Amino acid sequence: MPSAIEVRKVPIHSVADASELARLIDDGVMAADRVIAIIGKTEGNGGVNDYTRIIADRAFREVLVEKGADPDAVKQVPIVWSGGTDGVISPHATIFATTDAEPTDEPRLTVGFAMSEVLAPEDIGRTAMVTKVADAVRVAMERAGISDPADVHYVQTKTPLLTIHTIRDAKSRGKTVWTEHTHESMDLSNGCTALGIAVALGEIEMPTDEDVMHDRSLFSSVASCSSGVELDQAQVVVVGNATGVGGRYRIGHSVMKDALDQDGLWEAIRDAGLELPERPHHTDLDGRLVNLFLKCEASQDGEVRGRRNAMLDDSDVHWHRQIKACVGGVTAAVTGDPAVFVSVSAAHQGPDGGGPVAAIVDLG
């Protein structure tokens, strides 16, 4: 049986700052050698060359080592950074650590981690990637002590995207790639990964190569996929609920149907176990919401609730940044806290123009 989980959200005061993680360890909230995953937002451009992710990664791993964790073990801790804090979104990290707690029959937060087989550049966007991701999700579920896919509420991944170097590598071996546009490959990698998650959880049947990025009716309601230049495998963190693990925390999920769907956010919080009034306000949360984790996407028809917008036609500011700022503002208005995990590029993650929402709450 997996251990109970302690989870805390901390601010990041500068791009290389991990002082609040150090504070948690010094205060005895969690032990450095029991940190099992970190998911956070950094303040870079959110693009292919967003090196704030690498800077933050190094800062947090260095603190874990300084506070007594084994350096080799720290290298294996999944740390997923989503770059870009557009609008009011505030840089922060959510830290998961195992802890000791009395077992309980009530469903409580559990976390499992796995790495996929190596993803070659020619795999990205094709069923080979779907299969490799799905296999890793199943391993992470088992490690989390979850047998029923319905108990999975959030799957956070980090996968490779295509760079000029990896495209050249594929061509040198006589292979083709799905796209030679590196920025487009971010959406591609995320979307294909989401299909792998959906297959593993039984949300969809195995898609074809032609379905990837084209059939948007195929999606996962719990996938949150990011990609970058930092790795060549799928890094998979499965978060759900299990009986017997104990602890104070629980997770739930829902989807935003569009960029303004506040009801989807509240539904995720309710699904996690908080009782709320019919028309809730952020003050009703009373400090019990740890964090919301969202993916967002500009609707392919260029509209929100029947009104036209120009995001997809804007050559000055990429739609990634515009929709992220929009949904970040909507989410912060619901939570009363701008430190929310809102990540863009949500192909096959929730319905077109919307996205999955996961909520972790403290039930005391």
What are the residue numbers of the active site? Answer: 158, 226
Strand-pair partners of 151: none
3-class secondary structure, 323: helix
Q: What Cα–Cα distance (Å) separates residue 242 from each residue in 142, 148, 269?
A: 11, 9, 18
Query: Quick check: 226 and 243 in contact, CB under 8 A?
Result: no
Q: What Cα–Cα distance (Å) separates residue 10 from each residue in 95, 103, 325, 340?
A: 8, 27, 20, 11
Chain CA centroid to CA 94, Å? 11
Q: What is the rounded distance in angstroms from the CA atom of residue 323 to the CA atom of residue 347?
A: 13
Which amino acid appears at position 32 of this protein?
Answer: A
Cα–Cα nearest to 148, from 112, 196, 201: 201
Cα–Cα nearest to 9, from 39, 30, 42: 39
Q: What is the DSSP letter of 134?
A: H
Q: What is the rounded distance in angstroms from the CA atom of residue 213 to the CA atom of residue 363?
A: 38
Backbone phi, psi, residue 142, to 5°? -60, -40
Query: Quick check: 238 and 115 in contact, CB under 8 A?
Result: no
Backbone phi, psi, residue 304, to 5°? -130, 115
